[in-house]
Structure 1
Amino acid sequence: MPPAMTNLMDLWAAHSQLSGEDLVTVDFLLPTGIYIQMDVPREATIQHIKLLLWKQAQSYPLFPSLGEMEGHMFECVNQAAVHEELEDETRRLCDVRPFWPMLKLVTRNCGRAERLLDSKIGVLIGKGLHELDALQDQEVKDFRSKMFRISEEKMQRVQLMTWSEWLQACFSPQLEPGGGATPVTDGVNDKQAEASLKVTMHFDQSQYIKACLQAKECPHLTLVQVSTVQAMFEKEISAIGAVVNRKSSNPPLPLPPKRRGPSIQVRAGLFHGTELLCKPAVSSESSGRSEHVWNRTLEFDITVSDLPRMARLCFAVYAVMDKVKKQKSTKNSGKVHYPVAWVNTMVFDYKGQLKTGDIILHSWSSFPDELEEMLNPIGTIQTNPYTENTTALHIHLPDYNPHTILVRGRESQCGKKFHIELKEIMERDPLSQLCENEKDLIWTLRYDCMENFPQSLPKLLLSVKWSKHEDMAQLQALLQIWPKLSPRDALELLDFNYPDQYVREYAVGCLRDMSDEELSQYLLQLVQVLRYEPYYDCALTRFLLNRAQCNRNIGHFLFWHLRSEMHMPAVAVQFSLILEAYCRGSIPHIEVLKKQVEALSKLKSVNELIKLGTIKNARSKTKEAMLTKEAMMTCLRQSGYTETLSDLHSPLNPSVLVEKCRYMDSKMKPLWIVYNNKLLGGDTLGIIFKNGDDLRQDMLTLQILRLMDLLWKEANLDLRYALEKAIEEFTLSCAGYCVATYVLGIGDRHSDNIMVRSTGQLFHIDFGHILGNFKSKFGIKRERVPFILTHDFIHVIQQGKTGNTEKFGSFRNYCEQAYLILRRNGNLFITLFALMLTAGLPELTSVKDIQYLKDSLALGKTDDEALKQFRQKFDEALRESWTTKVNWMAHNVVKDNRS
């Protein structure tokens, strides 16, 4: 059942808070077969409710057979429609929030301490551990077993620490600016790191296979495709017609007769990253209705020995229809293909064994744009967990009896002559495509690349023939002597284009040099690229867990980055495994995180209460405000709310505590929460809590803005702080935001989204439109300027003096310096955006979206050419500033009409 299902308990809770009720009617199911219904306080703990039930049950039959009260616990059906054991009886009923007010009393098993910890972790990560226990997946079991052992050893070491050692381990300070504590390895010792890399391939032990190997031949990979079942094709084809009709001006496509059904085909492709290893294999057409059977063998033009370790098998199921013929013309005759479903699987399992036998793959129906031949190699390798209404693909992989073959590479005989052409290729940005001749040149001069352009490793990897095991072996030998890259350069190697296990291990090795502060800067991308890891136990997962468990601040943000995406089926199991491993190795952190999870649940309930009150009193604005505020205050005064929201560490910044709360009068009724930074003795800090908005695009934009500020400061150009005069503060911060909003293409820049602090610092909020996705009204662009630079801003910059050209000239010079600094780091920005491509952000779905950055930074041009382009944009912003005023006036008129 999808996690977005409406929670009936929440709706009842909101209603009871509006009506002033404090009790909820709960059905209790006893193991004796007795059913009891009684009213209990919704603020009561599970322990207290069990005591009330026990007193009530004494008057019912079979009570003596229940035994001791401590020998029982409650179960409920949670919001995800699965059973949850309520082992932690200090929780309140309102915190448990069962899907339906029904509790089942069950006999408690032994091992209560372990079960209590499991229960807490399950509640914390939003997925009961019994669900992981029930998975019939050996990879999951092996990963959990390994992480359990590592976590247990870590907690034993923690128990032997002194207080000062524990504080140093969990809250390691930065020793100096730009430095940090000594990096910690993730369990790979120096001897292991120096060991020679070996590639194992698995072949049939038969004499035929051995003869083929001796003759430098190998059988081609074959795939026996059995059938697709339960495909729901009639519904899918109807949906296809509707989608096509919406996306084009052509009339709706005629659907094939129901009695015959559409023709269905399956396409299969072998990929290494986004590289197609050989020509895709295509099945014959099948004209069944709900079940399609082929029983045909699909053969790929690649030998088994040439399969790279991270090869993935990608399938696309599609309908084949006759193209619509226009009147008086037969030019459009033929067939068209409409995608129905896709699914991917790895060729090798997590142990490195070639997969064999029968496999059932439950597919996905949402297709991203710009797919090559409808295959989606960048998509998840997890099968769809919602199996009832999905297309199921049954395949059979031939049985190659395991026989390990060691593939050894040979040294390259190429010379070390430096080529000017090679230098030009290596200086291109990451989005630039390489032609085949350029790839051959790079591979031939790979030792020159290592000596003169070590940061060009990504381009070398794109030049490897991944369908040749000789090239793969030589690359793996080369990686052992390749100079270590800077962490920023190594980030690109974690992109989907570089799936090789040894490449990613090399990249993680480079990341170990990151300080904790720098790791926090890039944590958002590092969590997203976990999606690219085909196996649960990998170098990146171990690295993140180790650094998170050694520094609670990193652990805090790792937890929330993972927790915020637990509702996505494609990553739910992977992220829950990592979260469980983190919690088991950071048991003292569990209670802090648990309080934050409960607090967010409370704030969500308050927001839903406000929305419900708004709907019920929509006719009277005054009455609405009065009743809604009264209901909110009544809710917040409840003991469960006051206790949970008191002394609360903010999930955005764990160093500040909550102080007060009110709600804002806008569509989503966001809560305005004020925090008091008691730990650092700072001023109060206000944040907005929005319930129902996807703010990950805002997170990405804010992260990039922080990075820009860091890069400017590294170049001794501070465009935000350290200045005493408010006008100078405004001038410098305005310069920073002019450049940043232009480079990132930030839209929807009206007066409500631009703020000024009392110190004079200007800053922007709300980043729902980026990369040049500017708003339009009736087909007319509302924003015509590259960035906001109104005459009011200029008036402040010139200190109120119209002829103060010196101040304005300084401002313009700041902007140009800032722009050139960002250009020098253009590859880093492209890499960070590329690593977010699979995050599902609305305006970052393909490489074409990142092209905006390449254009705004004028990558590929000289500094003089780029500066000329920026100056033209600057003049355009000045010249067209009147359009900004008109846009702001229109926005204010619309806002006033809404209110």
Structure 2
Amino acid sequence: MPPGKYGMQEEWEREGERGIKMDFLLPTGIYLTFPVSHKDTIKSIKTMVWENAREEALFMALGHPDAYVFTCIKQTGEREELEEESRRISDVQPFMGVLRLVAREGDRVEKLNNSQISFLIGKGLHEFDAQKNHEVSEFRTKIRAFCEEKAQLRQASPWQQWMAYMYPCDLEPCCSLPMCGKQKLQMRAFTGKVKPEDYTLQVNGRWEFIYGRHPLCQFKYIFSCLRTGQNPHLTMVHHSTISKYQEEHGRMCSQVCKSRSLSRPPPLPVKKLVVQAGLFHGSELLCKVVTSSEVAVCSEPLWDQKMEFEINVADLPRMSRLCFALYAVFDKAKKPRGTKKKNKKVDCPIAWGNTMVFDYKDQLKTDEVLLSTWPSVPDDKSDLLNPMGTVEKNPNVDSAAGLLIRFPNIRPYPLYYPPLDKVRMIKNAGHSTSSNIKLKEIMDNKNYTECFEDEKELLWKLRTEVRDHYPENLSKLLLITKWNKREDVIQMVSLLRNWPELPAIPALELLDYSFPDPAVRSFTIRCLRKLSDDELLQYLIQLVQVLKYESYLDCDLTTFLLERALFNRRIGHFLFWHLRSEIHVPSVSLRFGLILEAYCRGNIHHIKLLTKQNEAQGKMKVLSDFIKSGSQKVNAEDLKLFIRQESDAFSNLLSPLNPSVILAEICVDKCRFMDSKMKPLWLMYKNPWTQGDMMGIIFKNGDDLRQDMLTLQMIQLMENLWKKEGLDLRMIPYGCLSTGNKMGFIEVVKNSDTIANIQRNNSNSAATAAFNKDALLNWLKSKNPEDKLEQAIEEFTLSCAGSCVATYILGIGDRHNDNIMIRENGQLFHIDFGHFLGNFKRKLGINRERVPFILTYDFVHVIQQGRTNNSEKFERFREYCERAYKILCRNGTLFVNLFAMMKAAGLPELSSFKDIQYLKDSLALGKTEEEALKSFKVKFNEALRESWKTKVNWMMHSLAKDNRP
């Protein structure tokens, strides 16, 4: 029998229903001891305490039970008030089985909400109070008021809008508006009260709810999104007006004083320690990097050195970021392995840290700042500074080096960055017709990052022409703006006021780290308001990641996401889990925790549903950890016994993968753990809507699913783009969601098997299985008798075309026959996306994958229906591939932008612009459609010609798997 998370759980399991004895200390000083069951809730235990206390002295001194709350010391040594009385005692796990009853203080509802939110988001709200940070306090107050206001508006909305919030429609993308009867509605598991007059529709055996009393053909789904209010006006000190600000021509300077607690000394032989500092605006260096003098290595090295930058204070852009790097200098002759050369000496990065030059109230910083730095990770970057990194301080102060920085007071009064409404625009000079022709050539050049200097000068000179005639090229203009020159910044910001709003999808590019200016961010969010709920969900992963680029807690993107989440529960569900899955990351823990708290404040009723999912995940992790520990042999019966005992936690919860689906009763006999390194849990549930049907989820513990999630998101986007142009390639972008540190859920695709299993079951040995070209076709024949076979082959043909194009463009690696699956109806799909963007697996320095994508002769054998001379079917397959590729190339910029927005995620294979170059090449950016198609045809022929290498790779994989102990 697998034990629980703590020792008390083991004791409960030994005692069974008899329970174990627990001690209770009453406010009257009386001790009570009696047995409780692991299924008892805090509320039921409180009732038992009152029943037992009736026979004790001083019972009359006790008040009403609601006036008291249990407190305990947890296994981690923390004290906790158990305000959430519906929790089971086995989930609380008090240390030594002792509960203390104390008088409840303060607002009970508020304390209960705080307790629930802390437990749900995995971060105590007291940690925010302990920050003693004005920015944190003001943000919490403002965003809480905002979210609670939106909650009141939602509550006061008509019931049709409330239904739209609770059960938003999910419509299939198509080339034209579908008839109502063909709409794919996913509003499952409605648990509220429905008026008899409301219409319902049964789809795939489930009752789907339509809001309103209209006939189905007149059904209209209406959803309104409220705009956020204006930012509060910033009061300026009288003598720090714009004119006065523009008179400030003093140099920007700071003083690096010393480094405290250098707990990670560099490897010997170290010569000296050096600090490097640079001023950045996004990725642009505003002036020369400044380097300190060298000091001797010690626990608290002292520099006490003024660092002056070659830029006037008046020229500092609003989002100026001061970046520091601490590194060690070695003698060249004693260079440690893996370090980089720098003239006659070698430098080894130790730590880095960033801070803003202006604070969140627009005031130029003064006084001292203790910068708790982040340890440097050795990589291939040539720069020591990390401007793309966070401006948050490292919360692990005990293990981090601290740099003490002093900003000088250059005036006796505060200096504020002037508000944007005070800047004035300078008119452009005239221009010639030839200039307009040259401008058009620049605008038509997709590879705009390689502009020459004369082109940049012309582009800036004709900036109003760009606004009036080429507004979609705003990013080109922003990239060539001189952000270290105040006059140019004024021109750019002024121009933005009258810039035509861009379509939402192209505007996503402007959320990149390279465009941090507040005016640009505000303009971008205005454009993003055009996104429909479905579109917002499609890009939500990226929008959460670019939150990491924001320099201040209060920003337009945060407000925008919260607003949309509070008016669409599906958006709220996925926003919660995208944030919650990274709450353990120190650099974003504070920001994400505050946003999660704000969402919960604005949606109290959602807390219970999310808590149920969170608790179920906790039980799954306990079980998974025990199975992986190998402390004792776990068989299928042990697994089923644990699940049966915890069936209340596992059952009746909304699926994390799709909040429209209820995971009702868990089918214990169908559950198992899979035979792979991380022992994923395979959990099956009875479908409450269809008799005999089942649905399943896989819980993975130990793997980072974010790369799989991103890849499947891209495949889903590709499918949407194809469908909009009338091409349905029958893709299966199954559900995948990262919900925590290296854990998450994957959707079970029913009635499917791997290519490896199919080949192995139709062959005599693993060595020959990969070369059996009839195995797939015979398997499809066995699953699709007679008239169904032709349709299954068509499904295979379409899905194979989509998979070939998708895996080629995304550069999916590790494509062995255990990572490719097929459904019984013929749909082919890929799984396990641990390598992408051309990062193919290598062994002994040899690339094991030498084809652009997987197109083996057994696939062709199925497409040609088993006839070698059936070239018509194969040519139709080739046409599907080419058409699909052309559609994606026309949308190539979108894919590049979405991947660029994911750089902040910290995925090993996606950390810089170099990693995205593969995507630009595969999408043929900068080439004409004819050139792109010609290049793809070459890759197609190569994949077919070299497919025997794939078969050899599959054979080696099968042999290695069979020889695995």
TM-score tier by shorter-chain length is 0.7 to 0.9
The answer for the alignment partner of 1:699 in structure 2 is 709
Distance 1:823 1:792 in 2: 28
Distance 1:222 1:82 in 2: 44
The answer for the alignment partner of 2:7 in structure 1 is 12
**Secondary structure, aligned partner of 2:266:** helix
How do residues 590-609 of structure 1 correspond to structure 2 at under 5 angstroms? 590-609=607-626
**Secondary structure, aligned partner of 2:626:** helix
Residue 616 of structure 2 corresponds to residue 587 of structure 1: no
Mean CA deviation greater in 702-711 or 584-593: 584-593
Query: Contact 2:509/2:897 (CA < 8 Å) preserved in 1?
Result: yes
The answer for the alignment partner of 2:125 in structure 1 is 129
How do residues 150-169 of structure 1 correspond to structure 2 at under 5 angstroms? 150-169=146-165
Residue 593 of structure 2 corresponds to residue 576 of structure 1: yes
Alignment RMSD: 3.3
Residue 425 of structure 2 corresponds to residue 409 of structure 1: yes
The answer for the alignment partner of 1:473 in structure 2 is 490
Distance 1:320 1:60 in 2: 73
The answer for the alignment partner of 1:295 in structure 2 is 304
Q: Which amino acid aligns with 1:255?
A: P
Distance 2:601 2:949 in 1: 57
Q: Quickly say closer, same or farther: Cα 1:439–1:30, change in 2 above 3 A.
A: farther
Query: Contact 1:212/1:219 (CA < 8 Å) preserved in 2?
Result: no
1:314 to 323, 330, 333: 323
1:545 to 562, 568, 586: 562
Q: Quickly say closer, same or farther: Cα 1:521–1:270, change in 2 above 3 A.
A: same
**Secondary structure, aligned partner of 1:496:** coil
2:135 to 124, 136, 139: 139
How do residues 28-427 of structure 1 correspond to structure 2 at under 5 angstroms? 40-50=36-46, 70-76=66-72, 82-97=78-93, 103=99, 105-173=101-169, 181=222, 184-188=225-229, 213=246, 218-232=249-263, 235-238=264-267, 254-256=268-270, 262-324=271-333, 334-367=344-377, 369-371=379-381, 373-399=383-409, 400=411, 401-403=413-415, 406-415=422-431, 417=433, 419-427=436-444
Query: Contact 1:73/1:107 (CA < 8 Å) preserved in 2?
Result: yes
Distance 2:853 2:171 in 1: 39
CA shift for structure 1 position 174: 6.5
**Secondary structure, aligned partner of 1:843:** coil
CA shift for structure 1 position 521: 0.4
Which whole-Å deviations, capped at 9, do the CAs of 1:810-869 have from their partners, x for residues lacking one?
111111111121111111111111101110112111111111111222222333332222
Residue 662 of structure 2 corresponds to residue 657 of structure 1: yes
Distance 1:409 1:545 in 2: 34
**Secondary structure, aligned partner of 2:910:** coil
The answer for the alignment partner of 2:637 in structure 1 is 630
How do residues 512-527 of structure 1 correspond to structure 2 at under 5 angstroms? 512-527=529-544
CA shift for structure 1 position 546: 0.7
Query: Contact 1:548/1:555 (CA < 8 Å) preserved in 2?
Result: yes
The answer for the alignment partner of 1:242 in structure 2 is none
Query: Contact 1:360/1:392 (CA < 8 Å) preserved in 2?
Result: yes
CA shift for structure 1 position 162: 4.6
**Secondary structure, aligned partner of 1:361:** strand
Query: Contact 1:9/1:99 (CA < 8 Å) preserved in 2?
Result: no
How do residues 457-856 of structure 1 correspond to structure 2 at under 5 angstroms? 457-612=474-629, 614-617=630-633, 624-625=634-635, 629-638=636-645, 641-658=646-663, 659-660=666-667, 661-676=671-686, 678=688, 684-720=694-730, 725-856=791-922
CA shift for structure 1 position 588: 1.8
Q: Which amino acid aligns with 1:365?
A: P
Q: Which amino acid aligns with 2:225?
A: V
CA shift for structure 1 position 695: 0.2
**Secondary structure, aligned partner of 2:258:** strand
Query: Contact 1:360/1:393 (CA < 8 Å) preserved in 2?
Result: yes
**Secondary structure, aligned partner of 2:482:** coil
The answer for the alignment partner of 2:468 in structure 1 is 451
Q: Quickly say closer, same or farther: Cα 1:882–1:79, change in 2 above 3 A.
A: farther
Q: Quickly say closer, same or farther: Cα 1:165–1:848, change in 2 above 3 A.
A: closer
CA shift for structure 1 position 590: 1.5
Q: Quickly say closer, same or farther: Cα 1:423–1:85, change in 2 above 3 A.
A: farther
Distance 2:525 2:408 in 1: 35
Distance 1:145 1:884 in 2: 59
CA shift for structure 1 position 80: 7.5
Which whole-Å deviations, capped at 9, do the CAs of 1:121-161 have from their partners, x for residues lacking one?
11111112122222201111111111222233333334434
Q: How much identity, in percent, do the aligned residues show?
A: 52
Distance 1:690 1:340 in 2: 34
Distance 1:212 1:711 in 2: 50
CA shift for structure 1 position 264: 1.3
**Secondary structure, aligned partner of 2:658:** coil
**Secondary structure, aligned partner of 1:300:** strand
Query: Contact 1:17/1:631 (CA < 8 Å) preserved in 2?
Result: no
TM-score, normalised to structure 2, is 0.81
Q: Quickly say closer, same or farther: Cα 1:539–1:24, change in 2 above 3 A.
A: farther
**Secondary structure, aligned partner of 1:750:** coil
Q: Quickly say closer, same or farther: Cα 1:170–1:826, change in 2 above 3 A.
A: same
Distance 1:683 1:472 in 2: 62
Which whole-Å deviations, capped at 9, do the CAs of 1:437-487 have from their partners, x for residues lacking one?
332222112122223321111111001110111111111111121121111
1:875 to 937, 941, 958: 941
Distance 2:708 2:172 in 1: 30
Q: Quickly say closer, same or farther: Cα 1:694–1:726, change in 2 above 3 A.
A: same
Q: Quickly say closer, same or farther: Cα 1:361–1:490, change in 2 above 3 A.
A: same
**Secondary structure, aligned partner of 2:571:** helix
Mean CA deviation greater in 391-400 or 56-65: 56-65
Q: Which amino acid aligns with 1:275?
A: E
Which whole-Å deviations, capped at 9, do the CAs of 1:663-712 have from their partners, x for residues lacking one?
22222111112345546999533331111211000000000000111111
**Secondary structure, aligned partner of 2:616:** helix
Distance 1:713 1:211 in 2: 58
Mean CA deviation greater in 522-531 or 55-64: 55-64
CA shift for structure 1 position 201: 9.2
**Secondary structure, aligned partner of 2:949:** helix
Which whole-Å deviations, capped at 9, do the CAs of 1:472-522 have from their partners, x for residues lacking one?
111111112112111110100001000011101111111111111111100
CA shift for structure 1 position 566: 0.6
Q: Quickly say closer, same or farther: Cα 1:386–1:884, change in 2 above 3 A.
A: same
Distance 1:608 1:285 in 2: 48
Unaligned runs of 5+ in 2: 178-220, 336-340, 733-787
Distance 1:16 1:644 in 2: 19
Query: Contact 2:12/2:38 (CA < 8 Å) preserved in 1?
Result: no
Q: Which amino acid aligns with 2:814?
A: D
